[in-house]
Amino acid sequence: MRLVERSLPFAVAVVAIAAGYALSIGLDGYFVYLGMSAIVAGISLLGLGVVTGSAGMISLCQLTFGAVGAWVVSALNAAEAPGGFLVWLLLGGIAAGLVGVLVGLPALRLRGINLAVVTLGLAAAADLTLVQLQFPGVADGLSVERPDAFTDDRSYFLLAVVVLVLCCLAVHYLRRGRWGSGWQAVAFSERGTAAAGASVRTSKLTAFAVSATLGGISGGLLTGQVGLAFPASFTAIQSLALYVLAIMSGAHLIDMAVLGAVLWVGVPELLKRWGVPQDWGFVVFGLLGIQALTSGGNLGTAVRQLWYRRSREPATLDLASGTTPAEPVTPGAPVLVVRGLSVRFGEVAALSSVDIEVPEHGVLGVIGPNGAGKSTLVDAITGFLPNAEGRVELDGRPLTGSPAKRARSGLRRTFQQDRVPPGLTVEAYLRFVARRRVSTAEIAEALDFFGCPAARTPLSQVDVGARRLVEVVGHLLARPRVLLLDEPAAGLPHSEHVAFGERLRQVPARFGVSVLLIEHDLDLVRAVCDTVTVLDFGRVLAAGPQAGVLADSAVLKAYMGETELL
């Protein structure tokens, strides 16, 4: 099965090139021209699919990157630079990619409409600049020289098909790799990405770089098609329309990017044949985009969800089946030590001089009423609250820096809210979070241990409770020194809490990971934790062995009420 999956993209690529060859000899000259225009748009939409669909950022300057690629190709042609058109095309893509990194820098701080304004402003500025300066060689009428084997339009169309197929293969494998998983993760949750030890900065900048590179290649191809580059091919309004089309079609999916390119060329062509002004094409794309944005979906995702529902059974948890217990391990010396941890929000003290210790191969439970500061404690330990005061040590070494740096040092965490990107499969997410080479057998064993859905299951078909357990599995596969679990059983039926507790109790012995568990379910705390720390109004109310702490009268009063029975 895996051999078929690995060879399928190349088989599709061969079929696509064969179809391109058939079209190049079967279509008349005008339709070859339209096909070339669709290919150029398809490559540009592929790039938009990366930055917008996969990484979840707004970019309204895609054709500006195309203009960079066109400029480089035109300049190198005018200078009679060595290497020929294909080398110039590649250099144009690289130059556009570098510009994309520069454009992506604001995305490290800006989101949503603010980022949209910045990128649209760049597109408008580039549009005005190009009108004033013109492209190299235009004034002298120096047409870009195509490769010797592809001088006529039909052969050049076939060359463009090959370039499109190569771009599709590159995007396919990038999306399946660490970069692609990082794009999906940062689009869904930047905090979840950082907690996995991945760089949010790198994920965003690589998305912009790949998107811009593809835009530059499309602009270079267009210049080779027409012979000369003109500012009218790279206007801001066209970039905006292309973005809307990418949102509507779901251009992060390769087949939908190709379909979007057909619509990009086909809609204006139909309007022209019907005698309708082509400016109405922008209205059509705008209406389709509004529908996609208001519905929160796109054509590609809707088709795939429909197909999945018809072809497969819904993914479910299986915590009822028994597991072979691991040999228990005696807790050792503290591996995570927190001393004097304090956090203030203005005049409010969320934490006040909190001390905790997580023993090696042990499970520490942190409990307390709502508002006691439990999640704040986890945020402070893992670096999400840089204003926290106090000392955090892991294996006797001070733990400082960003959340990603702390995660790479061996401190992982989960969240109360869902931080698992639905655009990945279970396996892709686990490999991304693990950040190390894990075998297929290792993944299957860990999933089976926690009763999670199969590795090939799309996370979009997994309910919230199951995704929480998949998140736990991913961090355990990373083999951290300590894993902080913030209410991991939330979303599970109460009947499954005990079964989950049985698995969690075996984590130190089976995975070699110490655990800090925040949980409201006292049955789960009793089943899992060696020691317990109780927080109340940001202070440690009690700490020590589980039985003694849960029987403490002060704990009964603060946490459960004086009439609650243990």
Structure tokens that stand for 24 in this block:
């190049």
Element housing 483 (H / E): strand 482-486
pLDDT the model gives residue 217? 97
Q: What is each CA distance from 38 to 19, 35, 289, in whole angstroms?
A: 15, 5, 19
Residues paired with 391 in a beta bridge: 339
- pLDDT score at 329: 75
Strands 334-345 and 389-394: antiparallel
Length of the chain: 566
Helices marked H in 356-439: 374-381, 403-408, 426-434
463 and 393 Cβ atoms separated by less than 8 Å: no
User: Contact at 8 Å (CB) between 289 and 244?
Assistant: yes
CA nearest to 218, candidates 207, 208, 233: 233
The first and second tokens of residue 293, run together, are 């944005």
Q: How far apart are CA 96 and CA 94, in angstroms?
A: 5
Helix axes 178-188, 426-434, angle to 10 degrees: 100
pLDDT on residue 4: 61
Measured CA to CA, the distance from residue 284 to residue 279 in angstroms comes to 9
Cα–Cα distance, 238 to 217 (Å, whole number) = 17
Q: What is the C-alpha to C-alpha distance for residues 259 and 267, in angstroms, rounded to an integer?
A: 12
The three-class DSSP label of residue 281 is: helix
∠ CA 239-275-293 to the nearest 5 degrees? 35
pLDDT for 71 equals 95
**Closest C-alpha among 111, 109, 115, 75 to residue 92:** 75
pLDDT, residue 92, reads 96
Give one DSSP letter per residue of 104-137, joined into a string: HGGGGT--HHHHHHHHHHHHHHHHHHHHHH--TT
Burial (Cβ within 10 Å: 0-12, 13-18, ≥19) of residue 376 = buried
Q: Are 406 and 383 in contact (CB under 8 A)?
A: yes
Strand pairing category for 531-536 and 397-398: unpaired
DSSP 346: T
Tens digits of pLDDT across the chain (566 residues): 566 677 888 999 999 999 999 998 888 888 999 999 999 999 999 999 999 989 999 899 999 999 999 999 999 999 989 999 999 999 999 999 999 999 999 888 888 888 888 888 888 888 888 777 889 988 888 899 999 899 999 999 999 999 999 999 999 999 999 999 999 999 999 999 999 999 999 999 999 999 999 999 999 999 999 999 999 899 988 898 899 888 888 888 898 899 889 988 988 888 888 888 877 777 777 777 676 666 666 777 777 777 666 555 556 666 666 566 666 677 889 999 999 999 998 888 999 999 999 999 999 999 988 888 899 999 999 999 988 999 999 999 999 999 999 999 999 999 988 899 988 999 999 999 999 999 999 999 999 999 899 999 989 888 888 898 999 999 999 999 999 999 888 777 777 777 888 889 999 999 999 999 998 888 888 888 989 999 988 899 888 888 888 888 887 776 655 444 44
Helices 29-48, 254-273: inter-axial angle, 10-degree rounding: 140
Cα within 13 Å of Cα(292), Cβ side: 21
The one-letter amino acid at 350: A
Q: How far apart are the first and last CA of the chain?
A: 53
Within 10 Å of residue 386's Cβ, how many Cβ atoms?
10
Please check whether residue 456 is in contact with residue 440, taking contact to mean a CB–CB distance below 8 angstroms: no
Q: Tell me the C-alpha distance between 377 and 517, whole Å.
A: 12
DSSP class of residue 72 equals H
Q: Which tokens sit at 82?
A: 């060595």
Are 356 and 503 spatial neighbours (Cβ–Cβ below 8 Å)? no
Token duo for residue 294: 């208001």
**What's the helix, strand, coil split of the chain in %, to 5?**
60, 10, 30
Q: List all residues 6 or more positions away from 165 whose beta carbon is below 8 Å from its beta carbon.
A: 13, 16, 17, 20
Closest CA to 187 of 417, 424, 408, 404: 424
- pTM for the whole thing? 0.89
Distance CA 294, CA 309 (A): 23
Bridge partners of residue 422, in order along the sequence: none
- Name residues whose C-beta falls within 8 Å of residue 46's C-beta, 6 or more positions apart in sequence: 167, 168, 171, 214, 251, 254, 257
